[in-house]
Amino acid sequence: MTEPLAADSPDAKARAPRWRFGDCVLDGRTLELTVRGQLVKLEPKPLDMLMFLLRHPDEVLTKDELLEGLWPGRILSESVLTKCVAKLRQGLGDEGQAVIKTVHGFGYRLIAPVTVEHDAAPIAATTELRAGLSAGGHPPQRPLWVLREAIGAGGGGEVWLAEHAKTGERRVFKFATDAAGLSALKREVTLFRLLQATYGPRDDLLRLLDWNFETLPYFVEAEHVAGGSLLQWSERRGGLAAVPVAQRIALAIQLAEVLAAAHAAGVLHKDLKPSNVLVAGSEAEPRLKLGDFGSGRVLDLARLERLEITRLGFTAMLDDDEAGTTPLYLAPELLAGQQPTVQSDLYALGVMLYQLLVGDWRRPLAPGWERTLDDELLREDVAAAAAGDPQRRLTNAAELARRLRELDERRSQRAHQRELEAEAATLHAALERSRHRRKLQRAIAAVLALGLGLSSWGFWNARQAQHRAEAAAAEARAAVSFLGEDVLAATDPFGGGRPTLSIKGLLDEAAPRLATRLADYPAMRAEMGLAMGRAYEGLGDWPKARERLEVALAEAEAVQGADSELALTIADRLGSLALLQSRYDDSEALYRRVYETHRTKFGELDARTLSARDGLAWLQYERGRYPQAAALYQRLVDDYRGVDELGLTSAQWSLADCYLELNRTPEAEALMREVVATTSRLQGAKHPRALWQRTTLGDALMIQGRWDEAAALFDEAYEGLAATVGETHPYTLTALHYRGQLLLERGDPVAALPLLRRAYENRVLAHGVDHVWARYSANRVGEALVQLGLASEALPLLERAHEQSVKAQGPDHPNVLLIQRTLADALIALKQYDRADGLLVDGLARAQRTLPEYSLRIGYLHESLGHLRSLQKRKDEARAQYESARVLYENAIGATHPQTLKLTALAQR
């Protein structure tokens, strides 16, 4: 089989399809390259290398990185890479290295400015990717296979039926028509190889026979299943309703069993629907085959490495969650912005079970679906598989298969149980009649008298209850209508919607209609606004989350009052968002309001009051007031005990962060080990919260110089978060940032820079260039560039980060002083000693005035000032600065830490 050799190449199309660099344009969907307006054809390997470089503009990519990226798993000489670069330069006309610069001793860097353009226009039918796709043609490298007819299209690809010219054997070829389609093909190959490595050949999984990702047009070759899809099979039978119910249930059992096998191998399907299930065997005894894993996901990416399977289609820059589920089978939690899980696949399976039972593939699982199923056990099975709350669904598809297979036995047990219950009820009723007969006469008179007195009041009360029930029903109908017609309908292709709309796209479509659709129900509108705000927050789009929540807060206050639970819940979320956006005064006002109200209503130790206190304490931390924050959290930890165990872990986690800033690192480590253990017990070891907490534990180990232990935690956190919340989620980017920072601490800026830059670029995309987290990453990227001798590139990045940090957090904030130190280091490298001197002297004075005297940040400033004084030939001052830094380092991280030893040597020299 032909292996794709660039795990980071055309399938990693990122968020836009067209790159402009120098005099060149590359269309990422068609893979057409134009140089100074002329179309240029590149061989596959140079094209892969160009895509790899465009993924990492302005980064030094080492030779090892390029060899592994373009020829994964193969041992090749550097001459292969040199020839590939030469061919690429020839195609680009880059003999003068104006586009790709050789970094001697390291690798190569794309230095031409790169801009990325969004273009939603469809690809023309004559593009290079579709070359030769016509009846009577041949797939590349398959001269004996003749394309007979196109049997499918869409989603970035075309599907053709092909026939062998001599034997008449039939196969199916799936071609990529753009980069998204190529990604789907590569993901399908990866998941097929994983399933095959787990089980070997299985009759219920569609077999992939070969693939080609080197010669255009790219394709995957699959076995041909004569029965077609479930849709086609049922149409030949006269419609699904014409198939006997017993046979439909047997199909559901088969489907549940193969899905359970995929999940057990660590594979999510993510697009389970009738058209992706093929039918082999005879018409009377159909055997199902599950196929089309092009939207799928690997639950454990590390397992691919253990099985030596290349991550084709699962590159770091690819947001594979944009390849999504068909709306009819979309689980509710996906609509709310959560990541796909086994439970979301089970929901789709539950919908298909329902459709099989009612005999209609077009029937949605709409409110009131229960009335269309007479069998109570089957109603229970559908409800268990497709429950709205994923926590209430079945834990695995195998359980559904077992329930359906034992349906007759369960019916007998249920009938026997009913008989026993009826006998018991008859006996109980007889006993009760005997015991109460004598009391009955005395009770009748009293009941009649009381009834006469209360009848008028009861009638009035019943009418009021009826009115309330009718109002509640109308409100519920309006909410369901909004969800069905304004949210889900946005993806219905039959109603003019877009079936490929992402979760964020659904929210964007529905948000403007919320006010008009629920105009008569302001309370419901506020609750929906809160839910949408939380969904935006979970997706990392904090500006839109704030916008939705601010509207919801105003509506909740107008309807229910400023002190209502709904208003306070929204205010609490807004307080958290304000903190994330460095709007400290806004955050304090919101948290203070929630705290005062809850304390008055429920007392100081109520869980809601404690949560608001947590927000106020974290505000002190974000403002750089670490001793004050630590004192508040120490009280909170004591008060949380016995009240809210999950809230306790949150307070302990924050206290550990405070300890790290106060050089109490061993205490922080011990606390974080307790936090991770408790969260794993309460929510599971793979819960995003438990995974994110591992980054703080890893930070504690990294500070102590226990780098291997820290690396294992950062890797575990990153892999787990990428698999659960996505590779561009803020939590995942935090883990990625720490992975790069660790490499920097270990003295490997070459390996650190790509990770740090990727974290920075994605944080900018998610939150904006001036967000506090983007500035954290900018500082580390600048640090890596300075260490690589690229201070001129670091300088504008650090200058902007410093300017915006001063504006947002003030000149005395500890994080501002950290960036100020890195900026000074860049100026020192550029021999701008006077500017660097001013920054370091000013920063040191501010740090000594505002930070605890033992703060490591003061040590960092002493070290950089010592370096500057050494270059200025002021040796006594240099020695004094180095010695001051050494004392702080020894106190904070120990005498044997590599940083302390380095400072000792510098001071002595």
pLDDT value at residue 318: 35
The whole-number average pLDDT for the span 138-148 is 88
Question: Is the pLDDT score of 146 beyond 90?
Answer: yes
pLDDT value at residue 823: 95
pLDDT band per the 50, 70, 90 thresholds, residue 6? very low
> CA 317, CA 302: separation in Å to the nearest integer?
17
In order of their start, the domains of the chain are 18-117 (1.10.10.10), 146-407 (1.10.510.10), 485-581 (1.25.40)
pLDDT value at residue 433: 55
**342-356, 435-449, 494-508: which has the highest mean pLDDT?**
342-356
Task: Look at 733 and 468; give whichever has higher pLDDT.
Answer: 733
pLDDT value at residue 174: 93
DSSP label at residue 337: T
158 pairs with which residues across the strands? 153, 175
pLDDT band per the 50, 70, 90 thresholds, residue 42? confident
> CA 785, CA 823: separation in Å to the nearest integer?
11
Task: Look at 638 and 326; give whichever has higher pLDDT.
Answer: 638
Determine which of 397-401, 572-576, 578-582 has the lowest per-residue pLDDT on average: 578-582
The whole-number average pLDDT for the span 879-887 is 90
Residue range 859-880, pLDDT digits in tens: 999 999 999 998 999 999 989 9
pLDDT band per the 50, 70, 90 thresholds, residue 432? low
pLDDT value at residue 295: 86
Reduce the secondary structure of 548-569 to three states and give it as a string: HHHHHHHHHHHHHCCCCHHHHH
Q: Is 174 annotated as a binding residue?
A: yes
pLDDT band per the 50, 70, 90 thresholds, residue 491? very low
> Could you tell me which of 525, 523, 520 has the C-alpha nearest to residue 483?
525
The whole-number average pLDDT for the span 591-615 is 91
Within 8 A by CB and 6+ apart from 845, the residues are none
Question: Is the pLDDT score of 764 beyond 60?
Answer: yes
pLDDT band per the 50, 70, 90 thresholds, residue 819? very high
Residue range 295-308, pLDDT digits in tens: 888 876 666 666 66
Question: Is the pLDDT score of 11 beyond 70?
Answer: no
Q: Which helix (H) or strand (E) holds 222?
A: strand 219-223
Task: Could you list the beta-strand ranges (E) of 125-276.
Answer: 145-154, 157-164, 170-176, 208-212, 219-223, 267-268
Per DSSP, the three-state class of 114 is strand
Cα distances from 296 to residues 156, 343, 357, 543, 690, in angstroms, run 15, 14, 26, 30, 24
> CA 625, CA 508: separation in Å to the nearest integer?
38
Determine which of 376-390, 466-480, 590-604, 679-693 has the lowest per-residue pLDDT on average: 466-480
pLDDT value at residue 429: 62
The whole-number average pLDDT for the span 780-799 is 90
Inter-residue contact 295 to 323 (CB < 8 Å): yes
The whole-number average pLDDT for the span 403-422 is 83
Question: Is the pLDDT score of 384 beyond 70?
Answer: yes
pLDDT value at residue 503: 57
Question: Is the pLDDT score of 497 beyond 60?
Answer: no
- Structural tokens at position 535: 């969904």
**6-20, 432-446, 546-560, 704-718: which has the highest mean pLDDT?**
704-718
223 pairs with which residues across the strands? 171
Place of tokens 């592994």: 68
Pairing label, strands 100-103, 60-62: unpaired
145 pairs with which residues across the strands? 164
> CA 549, CA 560: separation in Å to the nearest integer?
16
In the predicted model, what is the mean pLDDT of the chain?
81
pLDDT band per the 50, 70, 90 thresholds, residue 536? confident
Determine which of 32-46, 523-537, 603-617, 667-681 has the lowest per-residue pLDDT on average: 523-537
| Omega of the bond leading into 274 within 30 degrees of 0 (cis) | no
How much of the chain, in percent, has pLDDT values that exceed 70? 81
The whole-number average pLDDT for the span 595-601 is 91
pLDDT band per the 50, 70, 90 thresholds, residue 440? very low
Determine which of 115-129, 342-356, 359-373 has the lowest per-residue pLDDT on average: 115-129
Per DSSP, the three-state class of 142 is coil
Q: Which amino acid is at 67?
A: L
Per DSSP, the three-state class of 111 is coil
- Please report how many Cα atoms fall inside a 13 Å half-sphere around the Cα of residue 905, on the Cβ side: 7
pLDDT value at residue 505: 62
Cα distances from 156 to residues 129, 180, 183, 184, 191, in angstroms, run 11, 6, 9, 8, 19
Phi first, then psi, for residue 307 (nearest 5°) are: -90, 5
The whole-number average pLDDT for the span 489-497 is 38
Inter-residue contact 334 to 325 (CB < 8 Å): yes
Q: At what angle do helices 856-871 and 898-908 cross, to 10 degrees?
A: 30
Question: Is the pLDDT score of 422 beyond 90?
Answer: no
pLDDT band per the 50, 70, 90 thresholds, residue 45? confident
The whole-number average pLDDT for the span 242-255 is 96
pLDDT band per the 50, 70, 90 thresholds, residue 480? very low
Determine which of 362-371, 414-423, 487-496, 515-524 has the lowest per-residue pLDDT on average: 487-496
The whole-number average pLDDT for the span 560-571 is 89
**329-343, 470-484, 734-748: which has the highest mean pLDDT?**
734-748
> Is the Cα dihedral 277, 282, 286, 288 positive or negative?
negative
> Could you tell me which of 513, 512, 505, 508 has the C-alpha nearest to residue 485?
513
> Is the Cα dihedral 729, 730, 736, 739 positive or negative?
negative
pLDDT value at residue 509: 64
pLDDT band per the 50, 70, 90 thresholds, residue 315? very low
